[in-house]
Structure 1
Amino acid sequence: MDIKRSLVLLFSSYSCLLFSQEKVIDTVYVFDNQMSKVKLFHQVTTITPQDVEKNSTNLSELLRFQSPMYIKENGRGAVSSPSFRGTTAQQTAFVWNGININSNFLGQGDVNNISYWGFDQIDVKAGGGSVIYGSGAIGGSIHLNNDMGFNRGFHTSLFSEVASFNTYNNFAKASYSNDKFSFKASGHQTKSENNYEVEEAKNYINRNGKYSNTNFNFAAAYKIAPHHQISWISEFYNGSQHYPIFFESQDKTKYETQNIRSLISWDWNKANFSNSFKAAYTEENFQYFGNIDKSKTSGGTGKNYILKNDFNYFILPKLNFNLISEFQVNKGEGYGSGIDHVSRNIGSVSGLIRYFATKDIRFEAGVKKDFIQNINSPLLFSFSGKWDATNWYNLNLSISKNFRFPSFNDLYWQPGGNINLKPETSYQFELRNQFKIADVKLSVTPYYMSIHDMIQWLPTSLGYYSPVNTYKVESYGIESQIEYEKKYGTHTLRSSVGYSYTKSTNLETQKQLMYVPLHKVFGNIDYQYDFLRVYVQGMFNGLTYTDTNEKRSDALDPYFVMNSGVSATLLKNYTIGFKVNNIFNQIYYTTAFYPLPKRNYSVNLNINF
């Protein structure tokens, strides 16, 4: 067989586990081969390319309206950071095709400097995942995934959009595959003057707010033998952000970044056995300009060399063993930060056992040990179970210990770096309840998280800041979502509404953490009739404190924002769309001082053939 047979058995037919069935079917090769396993035991929100088109401005907007995450954005298109379940941006892992891509220097990802076009799906997973995805996967993880299909022939598509504030957004994609070879290429460019105004917010003008970025993706796969496949994928990203200023007399600043990611994979798949060996290289380059007309003020280059092996074996028809080993060399060189040439070696070994007791009950238990140069890392564990109690109710239990090791800035920034920092560790528990009645699905997930040795930059007696392991954080809450989908002849209606309550407390002060709203509601409704499609989406965000003392006068007021769009497909291959964002002209902030735009518009054309 020339397919990922063991994955088919594990994720499509695990209840039967018929190893003797040997029929050849075409399948899809997914670069992150762990994601299908994760979805067996955990709630994962999948955002498709069609969903991306609803929020095509940037990844911040997409995650804000289509996931329970809180996104803190310093003005449209500027620096942006995510928060899962009351955690920080450093406690969120960005995963590119199974490879953790958080910055070596900051330990996080800038949401608006990560391209989200060119991916076949974006998966959002709340909850810890360090046993599989490593450092930073404490609050949750965001997965940017590509796949390769065979026997699909030639396809191409073009998306072009013109929007308010002189914004232009263009994306092109082409693919070809036969029974042995598959190739895919895409390119995306967006640029915007981004000069919006919000008169009601002290006559705010988004001065010097323009941005642009370009991204290219290339991927290929070849079946070299019935059970062996070689695959390759690369991404090249170039971005520029001008940071908003409040007065024309201020110096205009900007930030530029160039990223490279490349991965080669050799996959060997048989009926009860699979092995995936990956070699990857990732590089980040960034430059900050304190004055856009002068030379850079600071910057850095980070390079990662990664080897990863994922071995999967069915010991018995109901018992699966998974061994994941990884070795990395992380290198960094700073400019204007006091960071010279630094390097560290990281190794890790994870072992997971999955037991399919019956077609209704399954368990997964995992353990992981990291070996980080000059850092004492904890032993991590995870346990998950799922019980399909009835045809209308199932129960998921998840317990895990997760961690984040200090970044290069935490350790080596001068002055202030602290080489004696310990990793942050987290214990987490969640219990997901899912109900299904007719065409309605409801999930309710209470969770609890305890974070120890939180790394925080504090002022010193010498006048500069330095990171230290400080307080403990306790976070608990509930995430719920209700979904409905129904087809009536040529009519299709899909809807979903999510609600999250998040209480994240510094146990020393008993105060809510900054930029963690207690309440968030988000929802999407899609209606399609023949060639016509209409959608409406909305988001409510509750009161959000911007300091550590819960000062009400400085908090961000609650707000509700609604968007809507309509599109029509003509001659089968051509789709014209129109969108209105912030229909009700809501004045709202996701971070202090930087309001986001009022009502704005876009028109787009999508061609597929």
Structure 2
Amino acid sequence: MILKRALTLLSVSSCLTIYYSQEKDIDTVFVFDNQMKKVKLFHSLTTLSAADIQKNSSNLSEVLRFQSPVYIKENGRGAVSSPSFRGTTAQQTAFVWNGININSQFLGQGDINNIALFGYDQMEIKSGGGSVIYGSGAIGGSIHLNNDLSFNKGFNGLFNSEIASFGTYNNFAKAAFSNDKFSFKVSGNYLISQNDYKVPEENYINRNGKFYNSTLNIGTSYKIASNQTISWQSHFYDATQNYPIFTENGNKSKYESQTVRSLLSWDINNSKISNSLKAAYTEDNFQYFGNYNDSYTSGGINKNYILKNDFNYFIDPKWNINLIGEFQQNQGEGLGTSGITGKVKRNVGSAAGLLRYFATPNLRFEAGIKQDFVEDIKSPLLYSFSGKWKANNWYSLNLNFSKNFRFPSFNDLYWTPGGNQDLQPETSIQTDMNHEFKVGDFKLTLSPYYMRITDMIRWLDTGLGYYSPFNTNKVESYGLESQLSYQKLFNEDHSVKLVAGYTYAKSINLETQKQLTYVPLHKFSSNVDYQYKFLRVYAQGMFNGLTYTTSDESKKYAIYPYFVMNAGLSATFMKNYTLGIKVNNITDTVYETMAYYPLPKRNYSINATINF
């Protein structure tokens, strides 16, 4: 018993900790995505706290642009937005909510600005393939939106209100209560912006750019026994985006979306065996209004029913086996003049197994295999291998190799006219090698990677007056992701934190030998935080290199390099009251991430937070 208690105090880097600490972890906090703890043992992640997210409170696009290696192309502030991860497309990035893949079944991707920003306890960005665990679309990387529930914390709450440029008002409230058996958390957010910014240098006014959204999150957990927990997490989101127009008398259109997600989990944990049984329901509705004062002209309803079981067994302290089974039914229905007529559905199942070997506290390996069963689509056998070796106190090596995939979306298969039901899934082979160096309070990570994608799905002109998707391109992507971090506490009064990242991404269409569009060769971002007693200052910088917007690498239409900087200052009084000011785009840079849609120049916000 003494040995067991001692081992639970070891760091998570030790394999013995995983084996002996499972019972204790459930007494402290319940994490809805139980796989993330295992993923962190073999992969490097960028982790953003709720405070980090607050720095870029306009939308999720801003958070990822300034605090991750992902390139974000955005059709104006708050409008349609999509990611590029390691030179891949938006469809090759998986968005994962509490362990559940939430990419749209219609588009096969996540519209970033129609994914709520607030209400998560943590956001994690994982580069590289992850289809063995997180399914279709996890090719370039995955973005994880996580919630947790703590026990024995009593009552606590928070209210934050922000007023910003362009008629922007943002309010967020959160409250939580827990004792030794019961935990409850609720949060809500309301954001509205007239979004009528101007960029005189480009003769641009963001006309008809108004957007607003509201979010409600509810989570609860109850211990039915010392090693068993029943938990529920739900998410409700409602949003409207007006689409910007270029002339005063242009046709004003808008897009409305509603999202419902509900996840029920039954978790059993003891010293050798754990099992997580999840049942989830997700629904995404959208309506497009060709004239924002009239009835909708097109739209869609997507419903997903998900059942997932995750079984984990330690054979002994060195060997661990993990079996994951999942079944989904995806349903879609086109509305109005949508290209999908009537209702469509498909059944999707998968079985995965992972074997982990902890040779020593400093050397471990993981091998995984997965077979998906997608109705009417032949799916490839997927696999993954990871190894991590801590050579000494200052150097660690992590090697990853995997095969990943994305199956066609409902639009790819059933759009009228043009849907192609003979499409094959996109597949990729990828490898990366992470070198981690630690010297004092500095940590440097260098991650060269290589990826080859086959059967990429592209929509091409058929010559018959419409476009249709085909398996065409082969893409080769290689480059480097790197991150330097530093964190130091001085005399208990001063603290400094620095995170800086640089990415080089070469992503080539092998048929044309040209760089893919909207994949910058170079991207640099940095975040610096300094705190002295009750004062806190932070600054963000982002450099984006030359970015082609056409497939022929035309520099005439390319987005040229730019640098943008943000900064903020806050002061905390009587421990519970905080006032802050932020200045975005201090450099007053004229820049865009999507051709013809400049983003705002210098703008401001003030915010107040009450903790209770």
Q: TM-score, normalised by structure 1?
A: 0.97
**Matched AA of 1:312:** N
Answer yes or no: is the 8 Å Cα contact 2:22–2:270 preserved in 1. Answer: no
Aligned residues: 604
Per the TM alignment, residue 15 of structure 1 is displaced from its structure 2 partner at its CA by 3.6
Per the TM alignment, residue 21 of structure 1 is displaced from its structure 2 partner at its CA by 8.2
C-alpha distance in 1, partners of 2:472/2:392? 46
- Report matched runs for 1:64-463 at 5 Å: 64-201=65-202, 203-335=203-335, 336=337, 337-463=339-465
C-alpha distance in 2, partners of 1:391/1:192? 49
Per the TM alignment, residue 11 of structure 1 is displaced from its structure 2 partner at its CA by 7.7
Answer yes or no: is the 8 Å Cα contact 1:182–1:220 preserved in 2. Answer: yes
Query: For residue 466 of structure 1, what is the aligned residue in structure 2?
Result: 468
C-alpha distance in 2, partners of 1:87/1:35? 23
Answer yes or no: is the 8 Å Cα contact 1:327–1:346 preserved in 2. Answer: yes
Answer yes or no: is the 8 Å Cα contact 1:501–1:520 preserved in 2. Answer: yes
Secondary structure in structure 1 of the residue aligned to 2:53: helix
C-alpha distance in 2, partners of 1:369/1:502? 30
Per the TM alignment, residue 22 of structure 1 is displaced from its structure 2 partner at its CA by 10
Secondary structure in structure 1 of the residue aligned to 2:201: coil
Distance 1:18 1:156, change over 3 A: closer
C-alpha distance in 2, partners of 1:64/1:593? 18
Distance 1:20 1:357, change over 3 A: closer
Q: Does 1:521 align with 2:533?
A: no
**Matched AA of 1:477:** G
**Which shows bigger deviation, 390-399 or 333-342?**
333-342
C-alpha distance in 2, partners of 1:22/1:276? 13
Deviations 1:354-384 (A, max 9, x none): 1000011000000000000000000000000
C-alpha distance in 2, partners of 1:282/1:18? 32
**Matched AA of 2:79:** A
C-alpha distance in 1, partners of 2:443/2:221? 37
Per the TM alignment, residue 528 of structure 1 is displaced from its structure 2 partner at its CA by 0.1
Distance 1:88 1:9, change over 3 A: farther
Deviations 1:526-570 (A, max 9, x none): 000000000011000001000100000000010000000000000
**Matched AA of 2:36:** M
Query: For residue 584 of structure 2, what is the aligned residue in structure 1?
Result: 581
C-alpha distance in 1, partners of 2:42/2:593? 32
Per the TM alignment, residue 24 of structure 1 is displaced from its structure 2 partner at its CA by 5.4
Secondary structure in structure 2 of the residue aligned to 1:553: coil
C-alpha distance in 1, partners of 2:187/2:341? 36
Answer yes or no: is the 8 Å Cα contact 1:318–1:355 preserved in 2. Answer: yes
Query: For residue 606 of structure 2, what is the aligned residue in structure 1?
Result: 603
Distance 1:108 1:20, change over 3 A: closer
Distance 1:465 1:23, change over 3 A: closer
Secondary structure in structure 1 of the residue aligned to 2:37: helix
Deviations 1:548-595 (A, max 9, x none): 000000000100000000000001000000000000100000000000
Answer yes or no: is the 8 Å Cα contact 1:11–1:37 preserved in 2. Answer: no
Distance 1:389 1:464, change over 3 A: same
C-alpha distance in 1, partners of 2:389/2:20? 27
C-alpha distance in 1, partners of 2:486/2:389? 22
Answer yes or no: is the 8 Å Cα contact 1:503–1:518 preserved in 2. Answer: yes
Match of 1:569 among 558, 569, 572: 572
Answer yes or no: is the 8 Å Cα contact 2:14–2:362 preserved in 1. Answer: no
Distance 1:24 1:193, change over 3 A: closer
**Matched AA of 1:565:** G
Answer yes or no: is the 8 Å Cα contact 1:436–1:442 preserved in 2. Answer: yes
C-alpha distance in 1, partners of 2:94/2:18? 36
Answer yes or no: is the 8 Å Cα contact 1:319–1:354 preserved in 2. Answer: yes
C-alpha distance in 2, partners of 1:11/1:543? 43
Distance 1:237 1:522, change over 3 A: same
**Matched AA of 2:273:** F
**Matched AA of 2:43:** H
C-alpha distance in 2, partners of 1:441/1:193? 42
**Matched AA of 2:287:** Q
Distance 1:70 1:13, change over 3 A: closer
C-alpha distance in 1, partners of 2:20/2:547? 57
Q: TM-score, normalised by structure 2?
A: 0.97
C-alpha distance in 1, partners of 2:112/2:249? 29
Match of 2:536 among 533, 536, 545: 533
Secondary structure in structure 2 of the residue aligned to 1:103: coil
Query: For residue 60 of structure 1, what is the aligned residue in structure 2?
Result: 61
Secondary structure in structure 2 of the residue aligned to 1:191: strand
Percent identity of equivalent pairs: 66
**Matched AA of 1:295:** S
Runs of 4+ aligned structure 1 residues displaced above 3 Å come to 7-11, 13-26
Answer yes or no: is the 8 Å Cα contact 1:471–1:506 preserved in 2. Answer: yes
Secondary structure in structure 2 of the residue aligned to 1:16: helix
C-alpha distance in 2, partners of 1:494/1:338? 50
Distance 1:439 1:24, change over 3 A: closer
C-alpha distance in 2, partners of 1:169/1:233? 23
Distance 1:564 1:470, change over 3 A: same
Answer yes or no: is the 8 Å Cα contact 2:13–2:361 preserved in 1. Answer: no
Per the TM alignment, residue 297 of structure 1 is displaced from its structure 2 partner at its CA by 1.4
C-alpha distance in 1, partners of 2:473/2:497? 44
Answer yes or no: is the 8 Å Cα contact 2:8–2:21 preserved in 1. Answer: no
Query: For residue 494 of structure 1, what is the aligned residue in structure 2?
Result: 497
